[in-house]
Structure 1
């Protein structure tokens, strides 16, 4: 627990939200709508929550997750009576963050606390909280760390859940994925037109529909001021070749989630493409991205193991001369 959580004056709203696994806006809403704010008001606009205040919010969170309507849950949370848990047990069940494999929760092990809060919000299909928690994680840790240590573990846990439940929780994965894309795109400022000549082209190979890792890479490149063209899912081979010819990118990232879609001939063909005047012709650096490229590597083409490594390879290539002269 951080030193701020030992503060005798109480916790901030953000710290309370992280502890409960909800968005700060949810805590503020409970205060404004249902009078569940701190008992003691301090000067200034930053409220502090004591152990008593937090216990009341924990009851509110437990009751709403059990299916009790918010207004009734707030009344019971303020009363603090043991009967509130009995009422919650009789309420219609909602997905709750159980830890056992047979429960409705997600197995996250010793993942960051933000993962567990994000998972709980996704299971509740609480779109506003999912959005707020994703934005908070990216703001606090930066895009790359948030992707690797918060977003990816939660997405993987959701995937394992619906796979082991007969695809019962597909709606949870769809909602979480959609909001992850939105958070990634919001996090990176737009690179002004013409700011940099070198570009990166990102695309999924034909037949591949998993785009989230490429979305993360595109956002990370844009965050660093490196322009990128993102072509998304299942890029037809001929369309990919035409896009490369038209744009002459410094680097190309080809994503394949499964071995059945990873086309080594296509990657080699794109890597061999050239453009420019005779004597100074150039070709792109091609990265084979994703688990589909596992196994024998494509000769001469790097296969970064994750977002941070892919970003480092691209930054180095683009800052130097990725479009290497062809000696022929």
Structure 2
């Protein structure tokens, strides 16, 4: 059994990592860290784990002393802080899978522009494989350092890249992203109190959300992105408005998706003419590692609406990380990720 540690395990992403890894048939969770909850049971902040584990939180300061207890580190640690501690993390485990934003962007200047601080470990960036198996499986197989993309970035990249690769898009792409409250994390502050969030559709990033840079990096497309918080707890949905190249029609678009994702276990093409769920809908993906992608074409204007949807805590974070672990070790990619979502939900 592979021994894993989850650093920053008391947050929402950390809790999802624990949920998935505790049910993984080839993994043993040996360490879960939390400064605030050190010494307490993990099923305190994660009550859904009651009866599945007796694990207690380890103080992060004792992680080095426990290094003989794990082989892989999952980092559910804050942006801007993770890069400063990355040399330490890399010295503690054979493999590191990072879910922070600090090693997603390849250009340190782009990182500084979108995160507001200089990157303190730019020399480490090239050593990280992008943790999106659908487009980086080969690199993940050979890498001991993996950086998992952001949730809205994952949905946007999976929705747009097949069309970009096929040369079916030209000009600027407008991305309208919607996300549930869990995307703000467990310590989101007063802006996410129920009294403030309930019933609201808050545009919290009118322009240049940091995931915009990830989508541009992955697709080569000029992207302009807006992000809105909606009343859902889980879920991301991105609506991407694109201009189609000459000759690009519905058949060409559908073919691009089918060729890109025909053998992918966790991407489904959902683009139907009618029906309640004819385009990707995050509600039915809750708890699952699926990303649904779809499209609707306006032949008159030569434009398309491209849609991606996922659970921000699973395929948009922890599930993607576990899928990367499976790829890295040559295991079936569905291991520990078989849950299909719920309907009705």
- TM-score, normalised to structure 2, is 0.27
Higher relative contact order (CA 8 A, sep 6+): 2
Rg (Cα) greater in structure: 1
